[in-house]
Amino acid sequence: MGQLEGKVAIITGASAGIGYEAAKLFAREGAQVVAVARRARELEQLAAAIRQDGGDVAIVVGDAREESTAKQAVETARRRYGGLDIAFNNAGATGESAPVHEITPEAWHFALDTNLTSAFLAARQQIPAMLQRGGGSLIFTSTFVGHTAGFPGMGAYAASKAGLIGLTQVIAAEYGARGIRANALLPGGTDTEMGRAAAPTPEARGFVEGLHALKRLARPRKSRAPPCSWRRTPPVSSPAARCWRTAACRSSGLSFDGNGCERMPARSRRRGVLPSVRSRARRALSVQALRRSESDAVRWLPEPLMVIT
């Protein structure tokens, strides 16, 4: 029997990266999954993979920035599976990379709407459903950017993701006595399709790797390693899954930083913000670090995910 047997979980941003692997991990652990994302084709492929392994999944195609999508996901969980126990609000985007004085209001609002407001709208719908079940677990994908280290060119992204940590802490304080826990996952760089697109050059990749204590990116692998192993493809997914485990019932209001990042290298600090941002390689890497952080959950995530779930 899996660790999430009989539990119902909503996972947003499930069409790729961390969300995709988390959905497979949760299903493998016995959860009934409601996968949410904008890309219908990728969701269908995910559903096929889960069902082939004997899992149970329903898909909801929609934009996480729209509350109607969150409402549909919760209604699907209730109608098809009887309720909601876990919500992994993982949807997000890097957005535009630029120095603060060059960020457009449109780019600013895009980052906040996609990374922060979408999570708030989701939680608004998910919390009442969890209260009806006597409790549950909310998990949010944040990042080390703006928390562990400042990242040139990532003002909007950092602000939106840091806001998730604040939202997590407030939810934990407000609903802890009613059985709802809330935790944030802060993954680091991961070698995924999105990450490679964001850091297309060796220079950009090397810069991001240098930010991590191990000087390397997470490398997702499709394996049958136990859920607690970071070597599996869904390391990101693991932490989310473990968040539910009985042993983790006291974990709430926490930020699980599995990225092991160091501070910005002295060399980058000496050069200043503008040169780093204007450099094409630096710009690409900044965007990538962001996007990778959303997928890196796939490396260490399995452990934290299962813990805070």
Q: How far apart are CA 19 and CA 153, in angstroms?
A: 25
Exposed e or buried b for every residue in 36-58, given b needs 16+ CB within 10 A?
Answer: bbeeeebbeebbeebeeeebebb
- Enumerate the β-bridge partners of residue 137: 86, 181
Q: At what angle do helices 118-132 and 155-175 cross, to 10 degrees?
A: 20
Give me the active site residues, please.
157
Which two tokens mark 231? 């070597």
300 with 235: CB under 8 angstroms?
A: yes
Angle (CA) 260-295-248 rounded to 5° is 65
Q: Do 21 and 237 contact (CB within 8 A), yes or no?
A: yes
CA distance 266 to 250: 38
Rounded to 5°, angle at Cα 66 from 61 and 70? 65
The C-alpha atoms of residue 297 and residue 308 are separated, in whole angstroms, by 13
